[in-house]
Amino acid sequence: MQGENLRENLLLGMGNPLLDISANVDKQFLQKYNMKENNAILADESHKNLTGDLIDQYKAEFIAGGSVQNTLRVAQWLLEKPRVTTFFGCVGTDKYSQILKEGAQSEGVNVIYQLNDTVPTGTCAVLITGPNRSLCADLGAANCFTIDHIKNPANRKLIEGAQYFYISGFFLTVSPPTILETAKHALANDRPFIMNLSAPFVSQLYKEPLMQVMPYIDLLFGNETEAETFATEQNFGTKDLKEIALKICKLPKQNEARSRVCVITNGHNPVILARDGKITEYPVDVLTREQLVDTNGAGDAFAGGFLAQYIQEQPLDVCVRCGVWAATQIVQRSGCTFSGKATFQP
């Protein structure tokens, strides 16, 4: 699927580049580290032996990760034309960052990392229990990203040249000033600014920067638990996902000419899309327990599939169906990985 309107650097993403250290574990292991199934958290002191334990006690796999980088890799897979997407994030000058860069570059992403030579590349412990995944990120160098990276003239050019911007809610833990500056640039040039709620803790602990950037968001992704937590934090007074999506659309918006779109995924239940006071639901292919390997990267893949169509100005129906298609592929493999040609049929 290679649209004629595709060009290099059409979609620019920013986030935390992380190397996933992934293993199947038992529930006791999850409890030992006070982790919950299907959650994503930031590591603290209590997690300092986590990746070591995963490597020593379980057969941990090393897989390129980081939410936005995953999304761009999946988009590139579908787009086929290289370097339609650009990625900014911060890594260390170590072996892990080489693995990450080679992985994402070979899949077509134009990877422009900010380098930090004192802090190691970030990692994410991925604890798989049955079909569920629990994430614990140790951001390392990713947390050292500074706004200088987008001020540097070569990168500034990339920002100016991009038509679509995609940033995770996760990145609010790192550099709200970078996000706001990018959002304002997108607004000034009438270009779509896209974000993801990323994890429940973002709406709770980073509420203030999230709500500062919300008026700039043209398209927002989230899953069911993220949407529910956001609604609770914002006192929406409802747990109904459709009502929540509609209320998110109605939050104050800078660019009134472009109405906000909110897309909520809900596991194997239909995807909810809200826009202009209307809800549309899209069914998801139901997989058997045998087909389902792990849900790590499912949300990122959904966003990647959606954006691959969105940046080609395809109707939202096609965007959602491509998101569902991509997520369905990724959950049948370990981590956010794929192989062969993407065979999505619009």
- Of all residues in the shown chain, the one whose CB is closest to ligand 26A is 65
- Collapsed DSSP state (helix, strand, coil) of residue 301: helix
The footprint of ligand 26A on this chain (CB under 6 A) covers a number of residues equal to 22
Determine contact, residues 183/224, Cβ cutoff 8 Å: no
Q: Which stretch binds ligand 26A (CB under 6 A): 50-58, 64-72, 105-113, 262-270?
A: 64-72
Task: Examine the residue annotation and report whether 240 is marked as an active-site residue of this protein.
Answer: no
The DSSP secondary structure of 155-222, one letter per residue, reads HHHHHHH-SEEEEEGGGGGT-HHHHHHHHHHHHHTT--EEEE--SHHHHHHTHHHHHHHGGG-SEEEE
- The contact pattern for ligand 26A, residues 6-25, with x = CB under 6 A and - = no contact, is ---------xx-x-x-----
If one asks whether residue 173 binds ligand 26A (CB under 6 A), the answer comes out as yes
Smallest distance from the beta carbon of 142 to ligand 26A, in angstroms? Answer: 7
Residue of the chain from 21, 47, 70, 327 that contacts ligand 26A (CB under 6 A) = 70
- The contact pattern for ligand 26A, residues 118-137, with x = CB under 6 A and - = no contact, is ------x----------x-x
Strands 132-138 and 40-42: parallel
Indicate which residue of 20, 218, 294, 300 is catalytic: 300
Residue of the chain from 65, 92, 200, 323 that contacts ligand 26A (CB under 6 A) = 65
Determine contact, residues 16/122, Cβ cutoff 8 Å: yes
CA distance 156 to 86: 12
Strands 122-129 and 132-138: antiparallel
Hey, which residues between 292 and 331 contact ligand 26A (CB under 6 A)?
296-297, 299-300
Smallest distance from the beta carbon of 287 to ligand 26A, in angstroms? Answer: 18
Residues 6+ apart with CB under 8 A from 198: 40, 67, 168, 169, 170, 222, 226
If one asks whether residue 89 binds ligand 26A (CB under 6 A), the answer comes out as no
Quick one: CA torsion of 272, 275, 276, 281, rounded to 10 degrees?
-30
Q: Which is nearer to ligand 26A, 125 or 342 (CB)?
A: 125
> What secondary structure, in 3-state letters, does 54-121 show?
HHHHCCCEEEEECHHHHHHHHHHHHHCCCCCEEEEEEEECCHHHHHHHHHHHHCCCEEEEEEECCCCC
Q: Which is nearer to ligand 26A, 2 or 106 (CB)?
A: 106
Q: Which is nearer to ligand 26A, 135 or 248 (CB)?
A: 135
Q: Which is nearer to ligand 26A, 86 or 296 (CB)?
A: 296
If one asks whether residue 244 binds ligand 26A (CB under 6 A), the answer comes out as no
Interface residues with ligand 26A (CB under 6 A) are 15-16, 18, 20, 40, 42, 65-67, 70, 124, 135, 137, 139, 168, 170, 173, 296-297, 299-300, 336
Residues involved in catalysis: 300
